Amino acid sequence: MSISSNILKAFLGLSIASSFALASEINVYSHRHYDSDKLLFAAFEKKSGIKVNVITAKAEELVSKLKIEGANSPADMLITSDIGNLYEAKVEGLLQKIDSKTLSANIPAHLRDSDNEWFGLTKRARIFVYNPEKISEKELGSYLDLSDPKFKGKILTRSSSAAYNKSLLASIIANHGEAKALEFAKGLVANFARDPKGNDRDQIKAVASGEGDLAIVNTYYLGIMLNSKDPKDVEIARSVKLFFPAQKAEGTHINISGAGVTKYAKNKENAIKLIEFLSSVEAQTLFAEANHEYPANPAVKASGTVATFGTFKEDTLPLAEVGKYTKKAVEIATKANWR
């Protein structure tokens, strides 16, 4: 019934945005597609009485969409699952500054924009997963060490176009400079066990199967596998070990999922309320438990599974610095033949 009436409205030329733009709504463009987010939006609706409308798509698409739509955009809020696109949105002038004491209190400074245009909501640590029969923990150190010839034919990772690898390489540029980053990328490619392919889980499986000895992946994939209903996933995840890189250097690289209020938001106040809610202890606990991500709010603990991974020193380089070098990272990866 409602669908056919929606279609009717659409055909009569009434847009969804104009016909439903009530004060008690908020329109979200999100790159996150987790069921945990749906639960969080429902919890917010219940608590605030504000209806949350969502469109999920790839971050790059949402940024392009915001750009094309300009002032006509129905979106009030943008959520991405990596820093690169959030940073891009800011640079393109698609976000606006917001003042919120709650957000300043809940989100540490390095996880938010210096102009308060975006805020981190969850953290993802990019770590090593290795085969303990082939590699000893003593051999492992920083990311840069992976270009050492002793790892020849041993390293696995997905393609450089994956947002997480782009951001990792961008952080290396920010921390060590372009020349060092290129040298690292070239060395890494020379040490690949196979051409990059598959997703993060496929890399973990390739370590377990002996195709390579060490993979660069995000922590939560291991968390998901350890809690999988597929017994083989659990067996594989248990057979490998996890290592937090760069503990004696800059710290383990972390990426964020984050949010910002769009420049032409018609429901700005509601958008701020939603971001504040997402940074709250209640919401952060759900983020952590459901998806095994690290909460951005320091007052909230990691999930049970993730807590077993241990504590680590994280790279506190302001993430804006990482965002700045994302395109450079693609260039360097291409130069190094990291497909």
Partner 1 sequence: MQKFKYLLAPLLGLVISLPIVSLVIYFIAQNDFRVTSINLSELLLYTKNTAFVLFGTAFLVLLLGISTAFMSARFEYVGSRFFSLIFVLPLAFPAYILGYSYVGFFEFHGILATLLSQPKVKLDILNIYGVTAILSFAMFPYVFILARVSFASISSTVVELVSLKQLSFCKAFFTVYLPLAYPAIFAGLVLAMMEVLSDYGTVAYFGVDTFSVGIFKSWFGYGNLNEAINLAIIMLLMVFSMMLAESRLRAKFRFISVTHSSQKAPKVKLRGFQNGIAFGLSMLISTLTLFIPTGVLLYWFYLDFGTLDWSSLTYLYCTLSLNVLSSFIIIALAFGMVYASRFYPSKLGVMSHKLSILGYSIPGAIIGIGILLFTNFIDQSFGKVVLGGSFFALIFAYLSRYFAASIGSVENGFSKIDKSIDDATIVFGTSEWGRIFKVYLPLMRPYLLSGFLILYIDLAKELPATLLLRPFNYDTIAIRIYELASNEILYKSAFPSLLLVVTTAIAVLLLNSKFVRGRR
Q: Could you list the residues that contact partner 1 (CB under 8 A)?
A: 3-4, 6-7, 9-11, 13-18, 27, 33-35, 53-58, 60-61, 63-65, 67-70, 72-74, 88, 159, 161, 166, 195-202, 205-206, 208-209, 211, 221, 224, 228-230, 232, 235-236, 326-327, 330-331, 334, 339
Cα 163 from Cα 181, distance rounded (Å): 17
Minimum CB–partner distance for residue 68 and partner 1 (Å): 5
> Would you state the structure tokens that stand for residue 319, as one six-digit string?
């993430």
- Is 157 or 297 the residue whose CB approaches partner 1 more closely? 157
Tokens representing residue 50 in the block: 């504000």
Nearer of residues 31 and 280 to partner 1, judged by Cβ:
31
Do 77 and 260 touch, CB atoms closer than 8 A? Answer: yes
Nearest distance from residue 295's CB to partner 1, in Å?
A: 18
Does 110 appear as a known binding residue? no
Report the distance separating Cα 318 and Cα 111, nearest Å.
7
292 is in an annotated binding site: no
Alpha helices per DSSP H over the chain = 2-11, 16-20, 35-48, 59-69, 83-91, 101-106, 163-176, 178-190, 200-209, 219-226, 231-239, 268-278, 281-291, 304-307, 319-324, 326-335
Provide the minimum distance between the beta carbon of 168 and partner 1 in the complex, in angstroms, as a whole number.
14
Strand partners, 77: 28, 261
Least separation in angstroms between CB 299 and partner 1 = 26
d(CA 7, CA 240): 51
Q: Is 130 annotated as a binding residue?
A: no
Q: Can you state the percent helix, strand and coil of the chain, rounding each to 5?
A: 50, 15, 35
CB-side exposure of 186: number of CA atoms within 13 Å?
A: 7
Q: How far apart are CA 329 and CA 17, in angstroms?
A: 37
Give the residue among 240, 219, 241 at the shortest CA–CA distance from 291: 219
Q: Which two tokens stand for residue 302?
A: 């990691």
Closer residue to partner 1, CB minimum distance, 1 or 138: 1
**Which is nearer to partner 1, 14 or 299 (by Cβ)?**
14
Residue with smaller CB distance to partner 1, 223 or 251: 223
Nearer to partner 1, 21 or 249 (CB): 21
**Shortest Å, Cβ 108 to partner 1:** 26
Rounded to the nearest whole angstrom, what is the least distance from the CB of residue 196 to partner 1 in the complex? 6
Name the minimum Å distance from CB 268 to partner 1: 17
Q: What does the angle CA 151 – CA 155 – CA 158 come to, to the nearest 5 degrees?
A: 155
Residue 93 CB, shortest distance to partner 1, in Å, is: 14
Backbone phi, psi, residue 114, to 5°: -65, -25
Separation between Cα atoms, residue 301 and residue 284, nearest integer Å: 9
Nearer to partner 1, 148 or 235 (CB): 235
For partner 1, give the closer residue by CB, 15 or 316. Answer: 15
Q: Per the annotation, where are the binding residues for Fe cation?
A: 33, 220-221
Annotated binding site: 33, 220-221
